[in-house]
Amino acid sequence: MPQGYLRGFIDPARKKQPKPLWCLDLQTNRWRERSPKEIGYIDGFYDFATESTTAEDPDLTFKHLENNFPRIRAQIIQDGFASWVQHKEFLLAYMQMLRARSPLFFEQWNAHAQTMKVTRVRKVLHDPVKGTGVQHDGFRAMTKAEIQDWIIGQMRVEIKKGADWLSNFHWALRYTDSPNDPVITADSPFVSIGRSADEGTALTDPETLIYFPICWQAFLFGSIQRFDVETERFHPETLQQVRRAYRENERKFLVSPQKLDNF
C-alpha cells in the first residue's frame, strides 16, 4: 500500500512520532502502533517472475498517481473539500490503482488463472480449402511464474484504464473534523457494500454503495443513484456504520489515526 496514501491517516498530533498510525490486525484483534512503511508491504509482491520480460515495470505504472495524490489530497483539504469535484477523475483513477494492486485483486485473478490453459504456437497454417489453422505444443496449465507475470499484466491494464467504469457512478464526499471520530482505511480500501453478494449484480443495484477513504477526514461514496448533497459533514452514526462495515467485510487489517475501542 502506498506510503503517501497512508500518511493521510496520521493524526496531526502524532505526525512527529516514529510510529504515528494505529493498525488493527483483524486476525488477533490487537491494535499496534505502526509507521506507514510497516503497513501493507510485501517484499517482491509486484516483481515479474520472468527476468527477461520487456513489460513496463509496475513502479512506473504507479508513478504518476502515487506522486500526485498527496498534493491533490492536500489541496482538497485546504479548500475545505469544496474542490474535490474538480479532481474527481483523478481520485477515481487512484481508487482503481489501489483496487488493482491489492492482494484481493491478485487472489481473484490467481483463481481465474488456475482454470486457464496455454500453449506455444509453432506455425500458422493458411490452407485455401481448410482455412487458417495453427500447429502448437498442446495445452497445459500455466506455471506459477507465468501466472504471476500474467496477473501483473492484468493489474497494469486495469490501472491504465483510469477511472473507467467508476465514472458511470454518481459520487459524493463526506468529511469529519476530529481524528477521534475518523475515517479509517484497510488493506483493500475499495469496497462495495449492499444487499447483493454477486459483484456484477451489486454494481447495478441502487442499494449498493461504493466506499473509498481519501484520508482520515474524508470518504468518497459512489452509487448509480444521484445524491441530494455532494459535499457535507458526516453524520456521526453514518461514520460509525462505515467503520463497522470495514471491520466486518473480511479485511486483514484496518488503519486509523487513533486507537478505536468501540466499533
Q: Tens of pLDDT along 144-173?
A: 888 888 888 888 889 999 999 899 899 999
* Per-residue pLDDT tens over the stretch 195-252: 665 566 666 777 788 899 999 999 999 999 899 999 999 887 888 888 888 888 767 8
**Strands of the chain, DSSP E:** 21-25, 30-34, 117-118, 121-127, 131-136, 140-141, 170-175, 185-186, 191-193, 209-215, 218-223, 231-233, 253-256
Output the pLDDT for position 55. 67
> pLDDT-derived band of residue 135, with 50, 70 and 90 as boundaries?
confident
* Per-residue pLDDT tens over the stretch 39-65: 876 666 677 777 656 667 777 888 889
Output the pLDDT for position 247. 86
Output the pLDDT for position 202. 63
Decide: pTM greater than 0.85. no
> pLDDT-derived band of residue 106, with 50, 70 and 90 as boundaries?
confident
Distance between CA atoms of 75 and 263, rounded to whole angstroms?
Answer: 30
User: How many CB atoms are closer than 10 A to CB 159?
Assistant: 22
Output the pLDDT for position 6. 95
Instruction: Express as a percent the part of the chain with pLDDT over 90.
Output: 42
Output the pLDDT for position 147. 87
Distance between CA atoms of 246 and 254, rounded to whole angstroms?
Answer: 8
- Residue 202 and residue 196 in contact, taking contact as beta carbons nearer than 8 Å: yes
35-67 exposure pattern, b = at least 16 Cβ within 10 A, e = fewer: bbeebbeeeeebebbeeeeeeeebeebbeebbe
Distance between CA atoms of 231 and 171, rounded to whole angstroms?
Answer: 9
Output the pLDDT for position 130. 65
More confident position, 200 or 190: 190
Rounded mean pLDDT of the chain? 86
Output the pLDDT for position 138. 80
| DSSP at 214 | E
Output the pLDDT for position 12. 94
| The three three-digit cell numbers of residue 241, written as one number | 456504520
